[in-house]
Amino acid sequence: MHKSWLTILSGLFVLAFFSSSTIALADAEEGEKLFKKRCGSCHSTEAGKHKNGPSLAGIIGRKAGSTDFAKYKGLKGSDVVWDAQNMDQFLANPKKFVGAKTMAYKLKKEDERALIVAYMQTLK
């Protein structure tokens, strides 16, 4: 009987693990669609390719304001290193987050920000 419980628990763990991975992948896929719709006109996801805003390739884990994008001064010299939490805060209200002139566009819907951040975490 003990062995069968272990088998069941192991199966549930594997199912939960793969389900959460699938959900995260689906979130990133939905986030990519939303990113293209909401952010893609101003931001590229290709390294070194800037539009009206800086490229967001590899943004998560990178120091804010550290790109070679000359037009953007809002986060130059910042101590912020982008992670999911501070990226969510920034997207919710960029001017409040930075305290200076920065991106004017706000993403008010929490679920949209979560999807976009999930996608941004996949960018290399």
pLDDT in tens, 95-117: 899 877 788 899 999 999 999 99
pLDDT reported for residue 17: 45
The model carries a pTM of 0.78
Contact present, 121 and 60 (Cβ < 8 Å): yes
Burial environment of residue 35 by CB neighbours within 10 A (0 to 12, 13 to 18, 19 or more): buried
User: 3-class DSSP state for residue 81?
Assistant: strand
| Dihedral of the alpha carbons of 26, 27, 29, 31, in degrees to the nearest 10 | 170
In angstroms, the CA 80 to CA 26 distance is 28
In angstroms, the CA 113 to CA 93 distance is 11
More confident residue, 11 or 40: 40
Q: Which CATH class is domain 28-120?
A: mainly alpha
How sure is the predictor about 15, in pLDDT bands with cuts at 50, 70 and 90? very low
For tokens 């800086």, name the residue: 54
For the stretch 74-92, pLDDT in tens is: 787 888 999 999 999 999 9
Angle between helices 2-38 and 110-120 (to 10 degrees): 100
In angstroms, the CA 65 to CA 61 distance is 12
